[in-house]
Amino acid sequence: MKRFLPITALAVFAYPAATISCQNGQGAANPQIFWDGGAIPDPVFRTYVLENFDTDRDGKISRKEADAVLAIDLGRLCGESSDTPAIESLAGVEHFRNLKQLICNGHALTELDLSKNTELNILKCKDNQLTTLDLSENTALLTLNCGRNPIKTLDLTENRALSMLVCDYNQLTVFDLSQNTALTQLFCGHNQLTALDLSENTMLTDLWCDYNRLTELDLSKNTELTDLSCGWNPITALDLSENTKLTYLNCLNNQLTALDLSENAALTELYCGYNRLTALDLSENTELIRLGCSDNPLIRLNLSDLAKLEAVSFDYENHEIQVITNSQTAFVSDLTRYMQSIEAEKQKKYRQQEE
């Protein structure tokens, strides 16, 4: 079941990943460890490479050993309780020319040069200190997660094979996705985007663009969309008439005064609270399982067709709202509390009349 917060992106490929022991490198400050005299300045990265890829244990990485490396997974290095310092540089990674997967989340990287790693399919570098990221030579890239970095610009025009992009929690104000026509999943929430042109991304199935500065969102070309989370934006209108495959919609905390869901019969989850809706027609949304519509000036809420409803949240203490149900309606959460409060109010008035 889908949840509110953007999920951590999953890799679309799996390669055998090496492990690291929590020990710092020994010896000279910057020893030459590659066959061509190349070095790895960062002691933690150097130790990782030698422990996992120096198969003949001669203290060097030969060209054959380097070419055999397909995946590097630095992760968080033995967990948060480890005394191993964060990696500050991946200089030396250019020697692994066949590298397909690089995971370096949660370190202290301020730059990342992958211009020689042209076979790279998967890059996960979230939770670092990157301000820029040049991926112009990584044309084989399929999955990119660069979330939680202070990146201000992101040029992906050369990454036309990209299918998954996670760039949330950055400082992006605008970016061009017109060349990324293979994109199916986009997570760009918690940025400063004022516009988002997705007209060329017709294969998009998942879009999470919460916490930006979007005033409008044109999804008319994104007919494959199944998951949409666009909450916490100043969006005033949302046309979903072409998104008939939509199953999950979160448009919380916008400035919507109307929401037409008549073409979205596949919806199973709807969260539209904290808007300005005075009406909400759910007669065509009979597949709804979860509904959240609190903090709207609704005067009428018809739930009589929602037999599959398992959870509902609305202003149940607002006795001005008229809630319509029938014997098929699932009585759950706020709906039950609403009915109980209505009955309590009736009993209170009855007692007052008796007095």
DSSP calls for 265-289: TT--EEE--SS--S----TT-TT--
For residue 84, being part of any structural domain is answered with no
For residue 287, being part of any structural domain is answered with yes
For residue 11, being part of any structural domain is answered with no
| Residue, of 176 and 84, whose pLDDT is higher | 176
Confidence of residue 312 (pLDDT cuts 50, 70, 90): confident
Cβ count near 54 (within 10 Å): 15
Confidence of residue 96 (pLDDT cuts 50, 70, 90): very high
For residue 107, being part of any structural domain is answered with no
Tokens of 9: 């992106």
| 3-class secondary-structure state, position 73 | strand
Query: For 277-290, what is the mean pLDDT?
Result: 96
- What percent of the chain is modeled with pLDDT above 70? 80
CATH number at residue 199: 3.80.10.10
For residue 221, being part of any structural domain is answered with yes
DSSP calls for 43-66: HHHHHHHHHHH-TT-SSSB-HHHH
> How far is Cα 28 from Cα 50, in angstroms, rounded to an integer?
14
Judged on CB neighbours under 10 Å (0-12, 13-18, 19+), 79 is exposed
Domain count, the chain: 1
For residue 342, being part of any structural domain is answered with yes
For residue 276, being part of any structural domain is answered with yes
> How far is Cα 4 from Cα 343, in angstroms, rounded to an integer?
33
For residue 218, being part of any structural domain is answered with yes
Kindly compute the dihedral angle of the four CA atoms of residues 27, 31, 34, 35, in this order, to the nearest 10 degrees.
-100
Tell me the residue range of the domain where 301 lies: 194-355
Enter the pTM of the model: 0.85
152-171 confidence digits (pLDDT tens): 999 999 999 999 999 999 99
